[in-house]
Structure 1
Amino acid sequence: MPFMKGKAPIRRTLRYLEAGGLILKERVKVFCVNYNVFGDHHKGARDFVFWHLPQIQYKNPSVQVVTLTNMTPSPYITCFFDTGERMLIDIDSKTKEEVHAHLKKVICKSEHILAAELKAMQKKDNPANFGFGCDRQCICEVLGQVPCPGLVPLPNHMRGKYKYPKD
């Protein structure tokens, strides 16, 4: 498989992209990472960009993600909000795990908000669903369906005892 070649091909799999835990708040419109490709104090920023930036892009399709390399003496992240504000986050000499944990605490949605959104997304408002806990208790309530035999008897040609009589 050609997509499994290169440096760390696991980053190109759908399972890896869906496993990302950084889901940014709705207010964040631009996520910008500034770092250098050399230097020890930039290593955490480089690793963060290498491992977590594809997940951020996948999980936040409405957020513009920008990386600026070799333009700054110290690495930092800038978040631009829809109100025009911006937030600078210093990631100098931090590991990728520390950066990930800090971003999750500062600019990401909390766990209970994510759980509520997941529950709302899985809400059973699909008109094809019927049964306990849905809008319709039975399929017979949908227009064009055969009514329940308990309420309206089926025509004889639809009943087995008339269609296949035992003589």
Structure 2
Amino acid sequence: MPFMKGRAPVRRTIEYLEKGAFAFKKNIQIMTIHYNLGHNPSQGLYFFQFWHVPQIQYQNPNVQILTFKNMTPTPFIQFFMDDGRKALVDVYNKSQTEIYDHVKKIFCKSEETLAEEAKARERLVHPANFGYGCSRWCICEIPGQVPCSAFSINDPQLMGKNSWQLEKQKEKEEQENF
């Protein structure tokens, strides 16, 4: 399997990518990472980008991520918002976990927001749900169901509540024919 070659191939597995807790807020468009190779104050950012950038890319496909190596005197991360604002994160001499916690706290959605979005997405997507706030208003919109009585006149045979009356009517007709 060619995807399991190279340094730390676990970074390319679906399980690892889905475990990423980076769901950026909607206004973040671009993330740039600036660090120097072989520079001790940049080691935390190097390991951050090595382990967490694949997860960030997987969780946020609409965010552009750029990495600049050996182009800056000090390591930093810069975020560009959709309204033109910029946010700069100084990561000089910070460890990978400190950077992870700071970026998650400031630029990612909270756990409550993620739970609400997941619940709303589940409610709208599930085909068995219908009514107010769901993807379908009435069960008649699902293929194979009886048409809605609000828009068409259904045959009495299709109505379950009339089936016993139809059976009695057929029995009467059979008795009259004898």
Letter of the 1:43 counterpart: Q
Q: Is the 8 A contact 2:123 2:129 kept in 1?
A: no
Is 1:59 the counterpart of 2:59? The answer is yes
Alignment correspondent of 2:89: 89
SS of 1:32's partner is: strand
Q: Which residue of 1 aligns with 2:176?
A: none
Q: 1:103: which partner in 2?
A: 103
- Mapped to 2, the partners of 1:51 and 1:124 lie a distance apart of 34
Q: Which structure's CA Rg is the greater one?
A: 2
Q: Which residue of 2 aligns with 1:75?
A: 75
| 1:3-152 equivalent positions in 2, closer than 5 A | 3-124=3-124, 126=126, 128-129=127-128, 142-143=146-147, 147=158, 150-152=160-162
CA distance in 2, matches of 1:125, 1:47: 38
Q: Say if 1:136 and 1:33 are closer, same or farther in 2 by CA, change over 3 A.
A: same
Q: Report the CA distance between 1:11 and its aligned residue.
A: 0.3
Q: Structure 1 residues 125, 44: closer, same or farther in 2, change over 3 A?
A: closer
Cα displacement (A) at 1:122: 0.5
Q: Which runs of 5+ in 1 are unaligned?
A: 157-167
CA change 1:90–1:142 in 2 (3 A) is: farther
What is the alpha-carbon distance in structure 1 between the residues aligned to residue 41 and residue 26 of structure 2?
31
Question: What TM-score does the superposition give when structure 1 sets the normalisation length?
Answer: 0.80
- Consecutive unaligned residues of structure 2, counting only runs of 5 or more, are 149-156, 168-178
Q: Which moved more, 1:55-64 or 1:133-142?
A: 133-142
Percentage of matched positions with identical amino acids: 41
CA RMSD across the alignment: 3.0
- Give the helix-richer structure, 1 or 2: 2
- CA deviation string 1:84-129 (max 9, x = no partner): 0100000111111110100011111111111111111101455x42
2:94 is paired with a residue of what secondary structure? coil
Q: Which residue identity does 1:153 align to in structure 2?
A: S
Q: Distance in 2 between matches of 1:75 and 1:101?
A: 17
Structure 1 pair 44–142 and aligned structure 2 pair: CA distance change class (3 A): farther
CA deviation string 1:58-80 (max 9, x = no partner): 11111111111100111100000
Q: Kindly provide the amino acid, as one letter, of the partner of residue 104 in structure 2.
A: K
Moved over 6 A (4+): 131-134, 137-140
